Amino acid sequence: MRKLPPNIPRPTTAAKGLTGAQAFHDSAWKHVRGQARYIDDLPEPAELLHAAVGQSAHAHARITAMDLSEVWAYPGVVSVMTIEDVPGHTDIGPVFPGDPVLAGDVVEHVGQPLFAVAATSHRAARQAARLAKVSYEPLPAALTAEAALDQQLFVRPSHTQLRGDPDKALAEAPNRLQARMHVGGQEHFYLEGQACLVEPTEDAGVFVHTSSQHPSEVQKLVAEVLDLPIHEVQVEVRRMGGGFGGKETQAAPLACISALLARRTGRPVKYRMARYDDMVQTGKRHDFVNTYDIGFDNDGVLRGADIMVAGRCGFSPDLSDAIVDRAMFHSDNAYSLGQARVVGHRCKTHTVSNTAFRGFGGPQGMMIIERAMDDIARHLGMDPLDVRKRNLYGPGRDVTHYGQTVEQHVLPDLIDTLEASSDYRQRRTGVARFNKENPVLKRGLALTPVKFGISFTAKHLNQAGALVHVYTDGSIHLNHGGTEMGQGLYIKVAQVVAAAFQVDLDRVKVSATRTDKVPNTSPTAASSGTDLNGMAALDACEKIKQRLVEFAAETYGVSADSVRFENNQVHVGEQQFGWAEFVQQAYMARVSLSSNGFYSTPKIHYDRATGQGRPFLYYANGAACAEVVVDTLTGEYKVMRVDILHDVGQSLNPAVDIGQIEGGFIQGMGWLTTEELVYSDEGRLLSNGPATYKIPAVSDVPPDFRVALLPHSPNREATVFRSKAVGEPPLMLGMAVWSALRDAVSSVADYRYSPPLDTPATPERVLQAVTATERWVAAQEEPSCKNA
């Protein structure tokens, strides 16, 4: 530039908003004023068309005829297309093939897209899409994991992890229990439905605005369906109105269909799913059927375990291989299983293809061992907390069933602290007294831990890139491969950059994630957003700082180690320059003020052939104590108090971290309580809107809700400023509510019986558990039944 901007000096005080500060979300003020733009809020380009798809009415069928003439004829319709009209790839499976962009001859779930419509309004497109006349020849459909297991229908091969000789350990254990349970799935219910806006470019390529956690994958798949090189497709994600894993792979089909319609019509196309379509057409959390066979000593300590986890994957692999793997990796939760076998099945069903959801199979895996902990306690007449504490990993019992050594033992002390701060023992006495006195309402109490492995289990995804520019007024532009879905990633990484240069946070601007700024990115998933992108941004900053240090040392004749960045200044020997002033000096001396940055996670590996390795760089930990009250007449319940203590290492932003913990807990509680996915016998989703699918509402928040971060707990691994990932782990704190519900029901049998309680533990299932417990009590009182 010819003329530098005026350099307005700032006071030389400590920089504000660095790592550790409770900075507001970068869009907070826009959020509260309705000025944060989501896809459907973007200014609409001229000639915009709106997309919708026709949906399969059958779970599994051959399409014998499809008459689209009425669709074409509907007022406002501009184009209609089928799979025959796709110029490039027709399969958009993210990892393995199996996801046709539009159905071919065979449909494999109710709601599967058959054809796509472009019309001049959103309503016209949706109305037209319902007018197709489709003839089907129904084929046999497997709708549940159980059915798929019976028929050995899998989307991917089963996998086994083995440590020691579990069969021998089980045979020799003083106590042995077996159980089977069903763990329900979960609809993401991001408040912003799936959406994208695709504009044709002058080079026959497309520019894609999408609400996706994985812009690079959207870019690749759009290029493939259009038969273009990847560089003809640009993808931008400014923000999502919630993601939770539901926009990791599920945003791509919309972008592909929109791009195809844009190609056909030469006009921009917006595809925004109405809530009903979103719930029917997009994947959810896998439900699982899990079993355990456990052996334990008379103190309740596990000697051996034989565990099976079987996820209902739906009709295609999607991410299910890795999801069932993660369920296997977490079927121990925080406990040493002893000699163990863990088998994981990927069940193929004729239902929508299930996908990533916060926890990625981990929560479903953990449920089986948490059930086991309660069952051991009832069997031996112990407090479930004591059983849990005795089974925790610790020195000498620190190797998991997949061979990773647990190196940082956070949980024993964390649980002791929470046990004391939540007043667990005294409240246990109070609960018992209440239950003796009250014939109808029963209280329950539980304290459950979470240990969650951090890293993508697909090793190559553990990499990230960033781009940092310093401008001549001292302002800094930051871009990285991570996407913002509300989790506060942008502000956290901005805080990392501010800390790197020791300048005020308001110097740093984060811009929308774009594939032409940082290429080949990994999805913002696996809780890794900050770990990966924060380190990549730090790397970019360090490169720029290195150049600035060299420039300062050379220009002012000082040693490199006498150049320091602090208090919004650069200290060069005895001299001090304001940040912007120094940046201008460097610019005039022709020093590059821009750099990319890169990071790849060290240490991790996993050998599928042996089922052993170190898939995780470290573990995140936490624990929750929940108290509930249950109505034994109706099964209704209320969560009364929850105490949480969670380990986020050295927090980058305590307010954001607390927000993730509170939100994760409530989401996990919803998953295990009121959020019930109900399908008809024909495989049609009946809980297809918020009227029938009930996520927690404001009154479901425990009236007494205490959340704290574990103090003085820096990550032992060299993560960004020794922080720990926080996105997924808190979801599993919700298990405490489920365990407390079981505890309350068990009180009906004076804690001698461990009632089965599949999830979600709706009032109906809780009442079934009450009834089962009452029957057990009745059977105990009638000696003749004991022999039955």
Partner 1 sequence: MIRFYLNGQLQKLNQVDPNLSVLDWLRTRKRLTGTKEGCASGDCGACTVVIGSPAPEQSGQLRYDSVNSCIALVGSLHGKHLVTVDALTREPAHPVQKEMVECHGAQCGFCTPGIVMSLFALHTENAAKGSVPDDDALLEALSGNLCRCTGYRPIIEAGRRACVQTWEPGTGNAVLSRGRALSDPAGMPSDNSAPGLGGIAWLQDPEMIADLLSAQRTMGELTDDHGYRYDAPVTLEALRGLCRQFPEARLVAGGTDLALEITQQLKDLDHLIGLGGIEELQAIHEDEDGIYLGAGVTYRAMFHKLEERWPHFGPMLERLGSRQIRNRGTIGGNIGNASPIGDMPPALMALGAELDLDSIDGTRRLRLEDFFHGYKQTDLQPHEFIRGTWIPNPTADEKLFIYKVSKRIDDDISAVLGAFWLKRDGETIKDCRLAFGGMAATPKRASGAEAALRGQPWNADTVAAAITALELEFEPMTDVRGSAAYRLQVAGNLLRRAFLESTQDTTTTNQPLMVTDYA
Q: Which residues are catalytic?
A: 728
**Quick one: tokens of 546?**
């290195």
Minimum CB–partner distance for residue 635 and partner 1 (Å): 8
| Maximum Cα interatomic distance, the chain, rounded to a whole number of Å | 99
Beta bridge partners of 776: none
Distant-in-sequence, close-in-space partners of 692: CB < 8 Å, separation ≥ 6 = 678, 686
Supply the minimum distance, in Å, between the C-beta of residue 438 and partner 1: 5
- Nearest distance from C-beta of residue 323 to partner 1, angstroms: 20
Q: How far apart are CA 757 and CA 638, in angstroms?
A: 17
Handedness of CA 399, 400, 406, 412 (dihedral sign): negative
Least separation in angstroms between CB 341 and partner 1: 36
Pairing state of beta strands 441-454 and 594-600?
A: unpaired
- When the beta carbons of 93 and 668 are compared against partner 1, the nearer one is 668
In angstroms, give the least distance from the CB of 427 to partner 1. 15
Burial of 710 (0-12, 13-18, 19+ CB in 10 A): buried
Give the C-alpha separation, 370 to 449, whole Å: 9
Secondary structure tally for the chain: helices H, strands E: 20, 29
Handedness of CA 353, 358, 361, 365 (dihedral sign): negative
Residue 232 forms beta bridges with which residues? Answer: none
Name which of 38 and 751 has its Cβ closer to partner 1: 38
Q: Which residues contact 192 (CB under 8 A, 6 or more apart)?
A: 38, 39, 40, 211, 240, 241, 242
Nearest approach in angstroms of CB 433 to partner 1 is 12
Distance of closest approach, residue 191 Cβ to partner 1, in angstroms: 4
CB nearer to partner 1: pick between 44 and 750: 44
Contact 266/252 with Cβ under 8 angstroms? no
Nearer to partner 1, 5 or 690 (CB): 690
Which of 429/699 has CB closer to partner 1? 699
**E strands, 201-327, in order:** 206-210, 233-237, 269-272, 288-296, 302-314
Q: CA dist 716 to 66, 406, 492, 719, Å?
A: 60, 12, 20, 8
H or E element: which one contains 529? helix 529-556
Q: Smallest distance from the beta carbon of 22 to partner 1, in angstroms?
A: 8
What is the C-alpha separation between 164 and 303, in angstroms, rounded?
11
Nearer to partner 1 by C-beta: 19 or 400?
Answer: 19
Q: Which is nearer to partner 1, 148 or 183 (CB)?
A: 183
The neighbour count for residue 381, using CB atoms within 10 Å, is 10
Nearer to partner 1, 166 or 241 (CB): 241
